[in-house]
Amino acid sequence: MSGSAHSTVLSGARVVLPTGTVANGRVIVEGERIAGSAHEGARTVDLTGHWIVPGFVDMHNHGGGGASFTSGTAEDVLRGVRTHREHGTTTLVASTVTDDLAELARRAGLLAELTQQGEIAGVHFEGPFINACRKGAHKADLLRDPDPAEVRKLVDAAHGTAKMFTLATELPGGLDSVRLLAEHGVIAAIGHTDSTYDQTRQAIDAGATVATHLYNAMPGLEHRAPGPIAALLEDERVTVELINDGTHLHPAMLELAFHHAGAHRVALITDAMDAAGFGDGTYHLGPLEVEVKDGVARLVEGGSIAGSTLTLDTAFKRSVTVDKLPVESVVQAISANPARLLGLYDQVGSLEPGKYADLVVLDAGFGLKGVMRRGEWVVSPQA
């Protein structure tokens, strides 16, 4: 696409690039893409005093805006996607929850269509192959041991759009399922697990590369039983998901993960359910009823935390202002790392010429001011 009518120069902001932050930088947008140079007469948007960072990439998200990715119509899913886009998430993987296998396969088909249309970036299966003693907000009577044949059926139902599968790898069939996923180019994630340290190492050696919401739904660190957390943090092959909403994690545990794994091995996620960006009330997460009060989602029966109501703009601001993490480290964890894991870094995850013009404008206090996706403003900074 050419011509100044489609050229925009975002100028004056602090721009976070893979090489570092540029003061008084600029980002040139040409059509859907970031360009290396501007056409004569290009429109200029002055963003002095602001930050420009890459669009956020959420690899673990169950819904938002009152809509669930685990049930409902395609339009319901799109409503949730739009809600998260308005909060800076320009690339999103839709996550399922434990359900009947036939229903999960049907869901995967619907989500695959939306992936093929470019609305979402793929499918993440969370359950049903998880440990009952670490089930969290998953229906107990639908859980089952991992069966590579059943895992394969769900992957096939996603028609090439399956990106990640969360398993309790210590269960019978777990390691074989990890190997199958690795062979098919699907991320095998360890989560909702009661695994030991040694069992976790075996799963990593078999091909598991992600820790699903590290610390949550797994044994804690103990001096003679380090469990999965130590194994996941120490291995350079593993990226650890973190839910930084002030409820799921104590700040010290967030700091531990960034310090021990390094920013290059952290992925900030939402694990959001339909109440994200919508408000308190009663909802459903798969077949289970959830009550959201003061922004915290818990199962009506049993009181377990049931996902989050987090959006990634809030996670970004909290990480920088409360946890005092460097902006560049947060950008790495919220954009670049998940984009690489998903195999999308050639298109999204950083502000570089040739990539999609997916970006977020933040004010001096890291509040969201603008969102651009593929060269179009979702939220205008001049509104």
DSSP letter for each residue of 239-251: EEEEE-SSSS--H
Q: Measure the CA–CA gap between 5 and 30, rounded to whole angstroms.
A: 9
- Token representation of residue 227: 């469990």
- pLDDT tens over the chain, length 383 residues: 344 447 999 999 999 999 999 999 999 999 999 999 888 889 999 999 999 999 999 999 999 999 999 988 999 999 999 999 999 999 999 999 999 999 999 999 999 999 999 999 999 999 999 999 999 889 999 999 999 999 999 999 999 999 999 999 999 999 999 999 999 999 999 999 999 999 999 999 999 999 999 999 999 999 999 999 999 999 999 999 999 999 999 999 999 999 999 999 999 999 999 999 998 999 888 788 889 999 998 988 888 888 899 999 999 999 999 999 999 999 999 999 999 999 999 999 999 999 999 999 999 999 999 999 999 999 999 86
For residue 216, give the DSSP letter: T
Provide the sign of the torsion angle of the four alpha carbons 266, 272, 277, 281, taken in this order.
negative
pLDDT at 382: 85
Given a contact cutoff of 8 angstroms between Cβ atoms, the answer to whether 125 and 161 are in contact is no
Active site residue 271: yes
Given a contact cutoff of 8 angstroms between Cβ atoms, the answer to whether 65 and 105 are in contact is no
Q: Measure the CA–CA gap between 359 and 375, rounded to whole angstroms.
A: 9
For the whole prediction, is pTM greater than 0.85?
Answer: yes
pLDDT at 218: 98
Q: Measure the CA–CA gap between 348 and 160, rounded to whole angstroms.
A: 20
Q: Work out the number of other CB atoms within 10 angstroms of the CB of residue 220.
A: 11
pLDDT at 2: 40
Q: Measure the CA–CA gap between 188 and 176, rounded to whole angstroms.
A: 11
pLDDT at 273: 93
Distances (CA, A) of 329 to 173, 293, 313, 337: 37, 31, 15, 10
CA proximity to 17, closest of 368, 332, 340, 338: 332
- Token representation of residue 161: 């759009």
Q: How many residues does the chain have?
A: 383
Torsion angle, alpha carbons of 225, 213, 327, 52, to 10: 170
Residue-wise over 160-177: b if at least 16 C-beta within 10 A, else e?
ebbbbbbbbbbbebbbbb
Judge: domain 4-53+349-379, CATH 1.10.340.30: no
pLDDT at 1: 38
* Residues forming CATH 3.20.20.140 domain(s) in the chain: 56-341
Place of tokens 């933040």: 362
Of 76, 245, 271, 313, the catalytic one is 271
The CATH architecture annotation of domain 56-341 reads: Alpha-Beta Barrel (3.20)
Q: Is 171 left (phi over 0), alpha (psi -120 to 50) or beta?
A: beta
pLDDT at 3: 42
Instruction: Tell me the longest C-alpha to C-alpha distance in the chain.
Output: 67
pLDDT at 39: 83
